[in-house]
Amino acid sequence: MLPFAPNQAPSTFTRGSWTESPLPTRRVRLFSRAPAPELAGMVGRFWIVQTDGLLATPAVRRYASKVEVDLILTLEGHFCESAEASLFRPGERLAYVVGPMSQPAPVVSSGRCTALGVRIRPGRGSALLRTSLGDLRDGVARLDELVPPGLRGLAGAPASDEPEAEVARLERLLLALAARCGTPDPLVGRAVELIDGRRGSLTVDEIARHTGSTVRQLQRRFQECVGLSPKLHGRIARVSHAMALLGLGSRNDFADVVEACGFYDQAHLTREFRALVGTTPGAFLRELSRSCD
């Protein structure tokens, strides 16, 4: 997915409650809106990506490492060709799931597309889908294959070109899944809060001590519910914090970012960026500031 500059405030989108976030390209637009109140603790914002035409050459971007699970509906064209090609034929519309990512993956897009999606918060996807997220790690799957037979009508291919109608359908599906799922694992929930709240600065031993569990128990349950290890979640949280600081304006002083995020030195920052984002901090900044197709 194309990154957007986090220091730029979104402009109001004229349709309903959607807002537009600026992107460093003239041909792709990104809109988002809050979910229904009942889903606020379960998912993030719904988003829509729209492109205005074919690209002269295929665009290769990176899907950075992430902890969350994404539900994506392609309403037109291809949003994430490398993922979609493994699931359905060109031109076919489908709802699919992208699992947690332990490493960056290339995303190829070449044509006009409209895609809709929502991100499930860490620790909630396993309970909602009643599956081990370890099985979805670094993978994609059809959404209708991960829900009970009685809900597959809500999890199938988009039936409308109107994003609002598809958002309403996804919200009904998520509420139905929430009604049948058990209580999220409190140990994992607390561990996720600690990791995100401390931006990855805690060790696994410290997390286990704060949650009153053993390291082995924490790792086993975390892997089941999140799909990644608590240590990898912490690394992703730290790099995500560094990305946010870089985008907010610490563009020419990497030493400030190194200190604020707890990296040993700039080489450590660069290694983690390469491993989890697929590029260097300098290249990331150039991509943020470049206005291109």
The proportion of the chain whose per-residue pLDDT surpasses 70, expressed as a percent, equals 81
Phi-psi region of 57 (alpha: psi -120 to 50; beta: other; left: phi over 0): beta
Residue 155 CA, distance from chain mean position:
19
Summarize pLDDT for 75-125 with one digit per residue, the tens: 877 666 666 666 766 667 788 899 999 998 877 666 677 889 999 999 898
Q: Per-residue pLDDT tens for 156-207?
A: 888 877 888 899 999 999 999 999 887 789 999 999 999 999 999 999 999 9
Local structure of 96: helix, strand or coil:
strand
The confidence band for 240, taking pLDDT boundaries of 50, 70 and 90, is very high
Domain 186-289: which topology?
Arc Repressor Mutant, subunit A (1.10.10)
Q: Is the model's pLDDT at 5 over the cut of 60?
A: no
Q: What is the pTM of this model?
A: 0.84
Q: Is the dihedral of CA 186, 188, 194, 199 positive or negative?
A: negative
Residues 144, 155 contacting (CB under 8 angstroms): yes
User: If you average pLDDT over residues 122-151, what whole number do you get?
Assistant: 89
Residue-range domain boundaries for the chain: 11-180, 186-289
The arrangement of secondary structure in 11-180, i.e. its CATH architecture, is: Sandwich (2.60)
Terminal CA-CA length for the chain = 13
> DSSP string covering 123-134, please?
TTHHHHHTS-GG
User: 75 or 236, which is more confident?
Assistant: 236
